[in-house]
Amino acid sequence: MNDWVKVAAVNAGELMTHFELEDKAAEVLHPELNPPGGLMALVEAECHYDAIKFLAHCLPKREAVWWACLATRQTQTPETDELNAAALIAAEAWAKKPTEENRLRCKELAEKTRYETPASWAATAASWSTGSMSEPGEPEVNPPEYLYAHAVAGSVTLAGGLVNMDDPAEGMLRFIKQGVNLAEGGNGLV
């Protein structure tokens, strides 16, 4: 039974064409597995990065961006620079209210933070979720369907490494639990 009420995919095969797997993950993630079973197989094989990529592709856009925000929030400290703090706030604003104005603010801050931090990738995920990727006045270029999920995976993975530099797997597993809660219809605050 699949109790992931926020996930539209019926099996892993529906998602696997949208991202690449490491060799070990490709051996354990079988296309016929339902999403919870696919994630469990990846986690049990300690393929944490691939588990995060898989879960990012399972979640709807707003929930996925919110997941990146939740993970990123745990990496921010009083020493976090102003631009990265603003990038996270912008991504959170988009996840709560996905307007074009909020998306453009995320795009601006993602560019200013140079795609190097969890906050930058969370803002990038929001900016790649809707709207056009081109500059104002240029022909519209819609982002590929799952491009946001790649940015979410980058954000969550980077955050996992930052919250526990001695054991990045612990941080990633913590965030995977949050993502599962979101997939189940929760708020991710586990």
Distance separating alpha carbons of residues 103 and 80, to the nearest angstrom: 22
Q: What is the pLDDT of residues 118-130, one digit of tens each?
A: 999 999 999 999 9
Backbone angles phi, psi at 36, to 5 degrees: -60, -40
Q: In which band, very low, low, confident or very high, does the pLDDT at 47 lie, cut at 50, 70 and 90? A: very high
Q: What is the pLDDT of residues 135-157, one digit of tens each?
A: 888 999 999 999 999 999 999 99
Task: Look at residue 165 in the predicted model and tell me its pLDDT.
Answer: 93
> With contact defined as beta carbons under 8 Å apart, do 95 and 126 qualify?
yes
